[in-house]
Amino acid sequence: MRRTLRLAALLLIGVLIVASLVTAGDAQARVYRIGILETTSRSAAAPMLDAFRSRLRELGYVEGQNVVFEYRWAEGKAERFPRFAAELVGLNVDVIVTRGAPAALAAKRATSTIPIVMSSSGDPVSIGLVQTLARPGGNVTGLTAVVPDLAGKRLELLKEAFPHVSRIGFLWNPANPVSKLTFQEAQTGAQRLGLTFEGLPIQKPEDLERVLQTAVRARVQALSASNDAIFVHRAAVITEFAAKQRLLAIYASRELVEAGGLMSYAVHYPDLYRRAATYVDRILKGARPADLPVEQPTKFELVINLKTAKALGITIPQSLLLRADQVIP
């Protein structure tokens, strides 16, 4: 009897050891699939995605070993998002990472079960992405870029640098719900500063040149814009126009300054992407998006292009240069 019990015990121990080895082997062999919905192009998004992948590597995810990425590039065309989101759902990815409200909304409409991490989105509560920032509910969480709140601040910086400015044109996309909020904030800010405000709505990249000619007819002295993929994707067109028309400008993303624009004031997007990687890690380890609070940005950056200022024949006040996070010589 005792011999039988000993044999049974040994058999049970053996089964448990084999099971644990199989489980460990499965865990080691698991390859996570992350879908990425990007508003712009591979080159334009490179700094942000480099930060995202770098943080994932720090957390133990090595591309080609235990994680693969499925990229979808909208290249400034938001109408692509529903198809791209459906493709990622069809691939049964473990999590979808988005940038911007249109991408996040398309992903949410495509799935209610696959976790969605916003690398940045403006005011996700008001546009229905989450219930509250503290308790998102559903399958969406991540980071907000509080885009609308910065529109008025940009105009303040522009007016501080160039007190003579009185007429400003504002590029925005009516099809983007966050762009609408940004437009309203910019309009309010312009009224507060005593600026004549000219709205320049655009929904398709191919309409950009025509809309910019509206700015010429309105005799604006300066340009600003909402943070929309159209403007990032067509940065060269906008900055070349501003240079040709000798317009002052402040933008919502540094990409336009790197393309030759004068100034930008915005959240530091690579930092948001690094933090988004932490969300992905927590979700892959079992956390529910519904229970992960949406976080706000903590890093902002003012970028000034001195080469552009010299070409325009203007001088940036020293007080502003000292506050800049980066000055492009």
Task: Record the tokens describing residue 133, joined without a space.
Answer: 């920032």
Written out in words, the top-level CATH class of the domain with range 147-267+301-328 is alpha beta
Predicted confidence at residue 123, as pLDDT, reads 87
Predicted confidence at residue 122, as pLDDT, reads 84
Query: 119, 109, 133, 99: which is closest to 290 by C-alpha?
Result: 133
Predicted confidence at residue 25, as pLDDT, reads 43
DSSP string, 42-98: HHHHHHHHHHHHHHHHHTT--BTTTEEEEEEE-TT-GGGHHHHHHHHHHTT-SEEEE
For the purposes of burial, counting CB atoms within 10 Å of the CB of 267, is it exposed (0-12), middle (13-18) or buried (19 or more)? buried
Predicted confidence at residue 147, as pLDDT, reads 67
pLDDT beneath 70: ranges in the chain: 1-29, 147-148
Instruction: Encode 105-132: b = buried (16+ Cβ within 10 Å), e = exposed.
Output: bbbbebbeebbbbbbbbbbbeebebbee
Query: Taking the domains of the chain in order of start, what are their residue ranges?
Result: 31-146+268-298, 147-267+301-328
Strands 263-267 and 300-305: antiparallel
Percent helix, strand, coil in the chain, to 5, is 50, 20, 30
> Phi and psi at residue 80, in whole multiples of 5°?
-80, -20
Predicted confidence at residue 146, as pLDDT, reads 77
pLDDT in tens, 103-146: 999 999 999 999 999 999 988 999 999 999 999 999 999 999 87
Strands 196-201 and 167-172: parallel
Tell me the C-alpha distance between 89 and 35, whole Å. 9
Residue 130 near residue 118, CB atoms below 8 Å: no
Residue 256 near residue 229, CB atoms below 8 Å: no
Tell me the C-alpha distance between 29 and 118, whole Å. 27
Predicted confidence at residue 145, as pLDDT, reads 87
Predicted confidence at residue 320, as pLDDT, reads 96
User: For residue 285, what is the DSSP state?
Assistant: T
Which residues lie below 8 Å from residue 236, measured CB to CB, with a gap of 6+? 259, 260
Same fold, 31-146+268-298 and 147-267+301-328: yes
Beta bridge partners of 249: 223
Neighbours of 196 (CB within 10 A): 15
Annotation: CATH topology of 31-146+268-298: Rossmann fold (3.40.50)
Tell me the C-alpha distance between 259 and 275, whole Å. 26
Task: Record the tokens describing residue 261, joined without a space.
Answer: 């624009």
